[in-house]
Amino acid sequence: MALEALIFDVDGTLANTERDGHLKAFNLAFKELGLDWHWSNEVYHELLNVTGGQLRIKYYFKKHNLMFEHQYLDDFVASIHQLKTKIYVRLMEEGAVPLRIGVKRFLNEVRQANLRLAIATTTTSANVDALIANTLGAEALDWFEVIGAGNIVPKLKPAGDIYTYVLKKMNLDPIKCLAFEDSHNGIISATQAGLKTIITVNEYTDKHEFDGALVVLDHLGDKDKPFSLIKGNTTNATCVDVAYLRELYATYC
């Protein structure tokens, strides 16, 4: 069996978008709407267990017994989230968040090797477009055969639905594909869809459980910035490239 495709998560995997993107945008939206909420980085760390911005706001809301008529809750949350998305897109246009180490190099190598690419994320599709267009260029949106984002499926990660949706759209057997993730919810989702996963951790996820991961790394690595192996077989590779992908793929296929 040969490796054919790679599916990438976005937040925390392609870029560390949570602190300087999402969290900043949530707090700016709360402020602009005159709400007396400010999520600290510590609070946000816990809130990240809830995937999806709207569900995250609702969770916070319920946890702190914030009193709103239930019938208006969905509309209220949706309006906060709409503004948050607008602010997030603006932050991306301002270049607030760079790609993670090695991401640009790796995507270019993968394209040279004619591997198919796709995205499976919980975040809103406008956010994905803004990040990619402002870091790799608008033409890079076409590099990804399918961009599965946001509420295109009813159940967000950790459910496997978004990965299953992307695989179906690509008419692809999961055995021919690898996923890239940064979080526990992410690997659960990919695994449910039958995918093997490569993990690159970040400040919010370095204590997460990654049972079943092919390998856990601090980042993808670059020429002068080798990755550190956190969990997995020892290797001579110092950055994730196509040769290392094939090495990892061969360990389970």
Binding residues for Mg ion (CB under 5 A): 9, 11-12, 182-183, 186
Q: Which is nearer to ligand XBP, 200 or 237 (CB)?
A: 200
Q: Which is nearer to ligand XBP, 179 or 237 (CB)?
A: 179
- Which of ligand XBP, Mg ion, none does 174 bind, CB closer than 5 to 8 A by kind? none
Q: Is 8 helix (H, G, I), strand (E, B) or coil?
A: strand
- By beta carbon distance, the residue nearest ligand XBP is 53
How far is Cα 188 from Cα 191, in angstroms, rounded to an integer? 5
> Minimum distance from CB of 10 to ligand XBP (Å)?
6
> Minimum distance from CB of 242 to ligand XBP (Å)?
24
From the list 16, 121, 191, 197, which residue makes contact with ligand XBP (rule: CB under 6 A)? 121
Q: Which is nearer to ligand XBP, 53 or 160 (CB)?
A: 53
Binding range to ligand XBP, per CB under 6 A, among 29-37, 118-126, 209-217, 229-237: 118-126
Q: Is 181 helix (H, G, I), strand (E, B) or coil?
A: strand
List the beta strands (DSSP E) in 61-219.
116-120, 146-148, 177-181, 196-200, 215-217
One symbol per residue from 14 to 43: x for binding ligand XBP (CB under 6 A), - otherwise; what is it? ----x---x---------------------
Say whether 222 is catalytic: no
51 near ligand XBP, judged by CB under 6 A = yes
Q: Is 65 helix (H, G, I), strand (E, B) or coil?
A: coil
Question: What φ, ψ does residue 137 adopt, rounded to 5°?
Answer: 105, 150
Q: Which of residues 160-189 bind ligand XBP (CB under 6 A)?
A: 183, 185-186
Tokens 């267990």: give the residue.
Answer: 49
Tokens found for residue 17: 């978008």
Tokens found for residue 61: 């809301």
52 near ligand XBP, judged by CB under 6 A = yes
Residues whose CB falls within 8 Å of the CB of residue 251, separated by 6 or more in sequence, listed in order: 214, 233
Say whether 36 is catalytic: no
- Which of Mg ion, ligand XBP, none does 16 bind, CB closer than 5 to 8 A by kind? none
9 near ligand XBP, judged by CB under 6 A = yes
> Minimum distance from CB of 158 to Mg ion (Å)?
11
53 near ligand XBP, judged by CB under 6 A = yes
Contact 16, 100 (CB under 8 A): yes
Tokens 């948050």: give the residue.
Answer: 84
Residues whose CB falls within 8 Å of the CB of residue 87, separated by 6 or more in sequence, listed in order: 24, 25, 28, 29, 32
How far is Cα 24 from Cα 96, in angstroms, rounded to an integer? 10
116 near ligand XBP, judged by CB under 6 A = no
Amino acid at 140: A
How far is Cα 53 from Cα 84, in angstroms, rounded to an integer? 9
Annotated catalytic residues are 9, 11
Which residues contact ligand XBP by CB under 6 A? 9-12, 18, 22, 51-53, 85, 121-124, 127, 157, 183, 185-186
